[in-house]
Structure 1
Amino acid sequence: MKISVRNLEPTKVKLTVTVDPEEFEPYMDNARKEIGKQINIPGFRKGHVPGKIVDQRVGYQAVAGEAANNAVPEFYSKALEEKKISAMAQPELDVADLPSSGKDDTKLKFTATVERRPDIELPKLDGMVIDVEKVEVTDEDVDKRLDNLRQRFGTLVGVDRPAKKGDYANIDLDAQIDGESVDSQEGVSYELGSGTLLDGIDEALDGLSAGEETTFEGTLESGEHEGEKAQIKVKVNSVKAEELPELDDDFAQEASEFDTLDDLKADIRKQSERDSEGRQANNARDAFIARLEDGLDIPLPKGIKEQMVSDQLKQVTADPDKATAEQKKQAVESVEKELRDQIVLDTLSEQMDVQVSQMDVMNFLMSIAQQYGMDPNAFISAIVNNGQFDSAVQEVRRSKGLLAGMRAVKFTSDGKDLDLSAFLNDEESEVEEEDESVEAATAAAAVADEIASSDADKTE
């Protein structure tokens, strides 16, 4: 096998692979056997048709084409390995030459154009010290958690006064464009000040009482007229205020296993301290990756970046072309960071010779299946059938490489050694990925949603 490599871009290459006849012949033999199982030839049993007869019946070139379908992907993988190229996407494969007869000296020749991981040099881990800001638990943190618990036991009580921030209003909405109603909803419950419905609605509702209505201009955020300006008529049906229980021993007994409010506060502080340790571990992870990337010029694959940006915009708007400038900016920044992190962690895992077992990947996929309440075996089968198992392997390798790298450096906080052993001892580390754009997890979650939707359709 002869391989030539041409760099098209810093992250894109074109391989030209020429396969010698003796290397291609085993694939020809396998193709003849498979074709022989599918054709009926008098005098021969299926699967026992001589190769020459198969060539005569279906044509040598057809056999060669079938053989190439199996040979090209395997020779492509061997070429990547030989040239030490780490592909980041599926290649564009094109068969240039193929023998047309047994006497034809033409060799199998194909090209593969693929976006690759750029070569970068990471800083040495030996002797690296990373200082992480200490995460303190304050009285305000405890009070905030206590308020959240208190709100869970709150009740909504109708009030005879104008609505204000924090109130809950039951409203009817009617959106009109050029005097024609394009969308309407009735009996919507909305918390003033939450900013979860439409731009401008908080200002419109502030000061309105039950039975009153007003009209304001807003931008529709979904439906056929998404992104268009509309005159929105809103009517207030009722106004309710949240009534919270008193913070006393009675509340502690109702909301927890403790008899006194002081005991409940002490337990909340302990929980906050445990959580703060987890946040500090996550901060250490972020600081470690930032140190690896510091000063590095990491070229990003254009095609992958464009596709990821488009996919991310589809999560925030039905039509990515109508995304706002701010939405596009955020998507680009998010994707660029994700790609940089992936490239750095892949390089780190490779340099540290990280090995991934099948059990590692199964545990990763089972954890996602549990998050979605799905049968793990059915979920893993779906991942395999959708061709996403390799993505899961890659993500597990990154995770293991990250942990191995963090174990190889020293972390400090306020000049004192920071012990992260509770988070870095094994693959079940509690150091969490905060963003949900991880390729494997996203792909797996998409499969989970797909299966769930399919099951829902069957029950309708």
Structure 2
Amino acid sequence: MIANWEKIEKNVGVLDVEIDADQVSVALDKAFRKVVQKVNVPGFRKGKVPRGIFEARFGIESLYQDAIDILLPEAYTNAIEQAGIEPIDRPDVDVEQFGKGKAFKFKAKVTVKPEVKLGDYKGLEVPAEEISVTDEEIAAELERLQQRHAELVVIDEGPAQLGDHTSIDFEGFLDGEPFEGGKGERYSLELGSGSFIPGFEEQVVGLNIAEEKDINVTFPENYQAENLAGKPVVFKVTLHEIKRKNLPALDDEFAKDISEFDTLDEYKSDLASKLKERKTKDAEIARETAIVDKATESAELEVPQVMVDSEITHMMKDFENRLRQQGMNLELYFQFSGQDEAALKEQMQGDAEKRVRNNLVLEEIAKAENLEVSDADIEEELDNLSKLYNRPAEELRNIFAANGYLENMGADLKVRKAVKFLIDNSKQ
């Protein structure tokens, strides 16, 4: 096989490949054995038609596409290895020559990983944050705990307030006509949660039990239902029930109920320690992010959009998984947020590009500093995942290997080593 690589622009080049005629002959034989199983020729059983009769009846050309399909994947893989390139997208293949007794020639237009020119990445100066915990932060944490352990008490009279949990009937009308999906009965709504269209929940505030009200709102311009996007509508709302949080008193009994401590002062002291520990960890992550950002800012590279699009796809999957954990899905999220898929992807564009850029720079730093991932590193990571998921490490290894994830694990660990290298070689 002959494979020549020529870069034509930025991160795009052409791979010129030639496979000798002997391999073409072998591929044609395989193609015949495949195709002959499917053809009907009078006087012969399926799969038993002699090669000469087959070619006389259907022509050798009828085997060409199947033979190309057999040859091309392996030929392309071998060619990119020989050329030493890293494609990041499907190639655009143009077959230039294929035939019996001839070499197989094709060109593949390929988008590859961009070249990265590193700037300063050693001795980067990012000051460490001084960590302290204030009385206000402790008080805020205690209030969150009160909210979490509060009881919902039914309110028999008085108007609804922000923070109340309500039960409502509603029906939406556009130009006086009810619209699809705009009706709900005994719907549970926390006022101030932002679950409904902007302006809706605020207008429920002040309603009394059994009171009805027409609520006027306008759907967002980017709402996924085109017939409602940007349109003013009226919701007829009836309030059925109000539940309000009854906060527990901040005293020793409260401390005993939610912790292993006997007094509120003891619990506050422990809370202060945990808050400091949390803030310290957050500060370490923030400093790490700042150092990686500095290393990336000093590097020179152009990020291909195809890599950004791929990262957005991963981000969308992660986002959907988080929604499922909360009992939601993308469809419900789009209804509540007024966004659509295109708007959400656009919102992710900047973060996705930054992630790709950072990753490419970290990979280049790992290469420049000869940072390698050993078998022991892989085993340690599998052990950590085993503890996290409570499954045997060997079982996880087999799962990852079967799905081709072990290689990705190695790449991720190498990037982590590059981050550690930046931290270890930074200044405070």
- TM-score (ref. length: structure 1): 0.69
Aligned-partner Cα distance in 2 for 1:135–1:203: 38
Within the candidate set 135, 139, 145, 1:143 is matched to: 139
Correspondence for 1:420: none
Correspondence for 2:323: none
Aligned-partner Cα distance in 2 for 1:283–1:32: 62
Aligned-partner Cα distance in 2 for 1:89–1:211: 60
Give how far 1:162 is off.
Answer: 1.7
Correspondence for 1:167: 164
Aligned-partner Cα distance in 2 for 1:88–1:39: 39
- How do 1:292-441 residues align onto structure 2 when only pairs under 5 Å count? 292-305=295-308, 317=334, 323=340, 330-351=347-368, 352-355=370-373, 360=378, 389-390=403-404, 392-393=405-406, 395-410=408-423
* Kept after mapping to 2: 8 A contact 1:96/1:109: yes
- How do 1:43-442 residues align onto structure 2 when only pairs under 5 Å count? 61=61, 65-99=65-99, 101=100, 104=101, 106-123=102-119, 125-159=121-155, 160-182=157-179, 183-212=182-211, 213-219=213-219, 225=227, 227-229=229-231, 230-305=233-308, 317=334, 323=340, 330-351=347-368, 352-355=370-373, 360=378, 389-390=403-404, 392-393=405-406, 395-410=408-423
Aligned-partner Cα distance in 1 for 2:189–2:238: 12
Deviates more, 1:292-301 or 1:134-143: 134-143
- Judged with a 3 Å threshold, the aligned counterparts in structure 2 of structure 1 residues 410 and 340 are, in CA distance, closer, same or farther, namely closer
Measured on the aligned residues, the alpha-carbon RMSD in Å equals 4.6
Question: Cα deviations across residues 159-179 of structure 1 (Å, max 9, x unaligned)?
Answer: 322222222222222111121
* Kept after mapping to 1: 8 A contact 2:197/2:219: yes
Q: Given residue 216 of structure 1, which amino acid in structure 2 is its aligned partner?
A: N
Give how far 1:367 is off.
Answer: 5.2
Larger C-alpha radius of gyration, 1 or 2?
A: 2
Aligned-partner Cα distance in 2 for 1:23–1:355: 37
- Judged with a 3 Å threshold, the aligned counterparts in structure 2 of structure 1 residues 27 and 350 are, in CA distance, closer, same or farther, namely farther
Aligned residues: 396
Aligned-partner Cα distance in 2 for 1:77–1:125: 34
Question: Cα deviations across residues 308-335 of structure 1 (Å, max 9, x unaligned)?
Answer: 66887895648xxx85997565232122
Aligned-partner Cα distance in 1 for 2:378–2:301: 29
Give how far 1:154 is off.
Answer: 0.5
- Judged with a 3 Å threshold, the aligned counterparts in structure 2 of structure 1 residues 361 and 111 are, in CA distance, closer, same or farther, namely farther
* Kept after mapping to 2: 8 A contact 1:345/1:398: no
Aligned-partner Cα distance in 2 for 1:162–1:249: 33
* Kept after mapping to 1: 8 A contact 2:371/2:417: no
Give how far 1:405 is off.
Answer: 1.6
Q: Given residue 113 of structure 1, which amino acid in structure 2 is its aligned partner?
A: K
* Kept after mapping to 1: 8 A contact 2:165/2:189: yes
* Kept after mapping to 2: 8 A contact 1:129/1:410: no
Give how far 1:206 is off.
Answer: 2.4
* Kept after mapping to 1: 8 A contact 2:151/2:246: yes
Aligned-partner Cα distance in 2 for 1:383–1:112: 30
Q: Given residue 87 of structure 1, which amino acid in structure 2 is its aligned partner?
A: P
Q: Given residue 113 of structure 2, which amino acid in structure 1 is its aligned partner?
A: R
Give how far 1:341 is off.
Answer: 2.5
Q: Percent identity?
A: 24
Q: Given residue 145 of structure 1, which amino acid in structure 2 is its aligned partner?
A: E
Aligned-partner Cα distance in 2 for 1:11–1:126: 27
Q: Given residue 359 of structure 2, which amino acid in structure 1 is its aligned partner?
A: Q
* Kept after mapping to 2: 8 A contact 1:349/1:398: no
Q: Given residue 192 of structure 2, which amino acid in structure 1 is its aligned partner?
A: G
- Judged with a 3 Å threshold, the aligned counterparts in structure 2 of structure 1 residues 410 and 360 are, in CA distance, closer, same or farther, namely closer
Give how far 1:254 is off.
Answer: 1.1
Q: Given residue 354 of structure 1, which amino acid in structure 2 is its aligned partner?
A: E
Aligned-partner Cα distance in 2 for 1:137–1:56: 88
Aligned-partner Cα distance in 2 for 1:317–1:96: 48
Question: Cα deviations across residues 22-78 of structure 1 (Å, max 9, x unaligned)?
Answer: 5656656766777899999xxxxx99x999999899975566644433432222223
Give the secondary-structure state (helix, strand or coil) at the position aligned to 1:166: coil
